[in-house]
Amino acid sequence: MGWNQYSVDGVGERLVTMKKNGTITKGTHEGFIAAVAANLEVKVAAAGEKIFGVIRNIAGDDITVQDKGYVTMPYSGATVPTVGSRNLLVADGNGGVTVDTTNGDPFFVVAVDTTNSKVTFDLG
């Protein structure tokens, strides 16, 4: 059986609602990496920004973000995340993540799909 026949997505999920900061568009930014922008405010994360979580729902100025639990996200960059270890990740600026051994925070990776450039990791 291939790795994609199993899933831990959503296990341990915790959702928080915060205020929108900047352009976050319903129907476009769901599933993008979110970064903290100000007090209780989030934005779509730019390249190199710290990962707060994943945007799940957009309702006006209210943004629901998954900040805990397992997620599968696109990854980009020259370094492929490593399964079974903590990888130093940051936002890639395109909704996904990238490995950054200088500025990244550690996230435990449980699966990597190199064909589709997807990584499954625990947000914490």
DSSP 48: T
Largest CA distance in the chain: 45
Q: How confident is the model at residue 9 (pLDDT cuts 50, 70, 90)?
A: confident
Buried b (16+ CB within 10 A) or exposed e, 74-108: bbebeeebeeeeebbbbbbeebbbbbbeeebeebe
> What pLDDT is recorded for position 2?
53
d(CA 82, CA 67): 21
Q: How confident is the model at residue 3 (pLDDT cuts 50, 70, 90)?
A: low
d(CA 62, CA 116): 31
Q: How confident is the model at residue 1 (pLDDT cuts 50, 70, 90)?
A: very low
3-class secondary-structure state, position 111: strand
Given a contact cutoff of 8 angstroms between Cβ atoms, the answer to whether 44 and 29 are in contact is yes
Q: How confident is the model at residue 124 (pLDDT cuts 50, 70, 90)?
A: very high
> What pLDDT is recorded for position 10?
85
- Please give the share of the chain, as a percent, with pLDDT higher than 70: 97
Given a contact cutoff of 8 angstroms between Cβ atoms, the answer to whether 109 and 82 are in contact is yes
- Find residue 52's DSSP bridge partners: none
If you average pLDDT over residues 63-86, what whole number do you get? 98
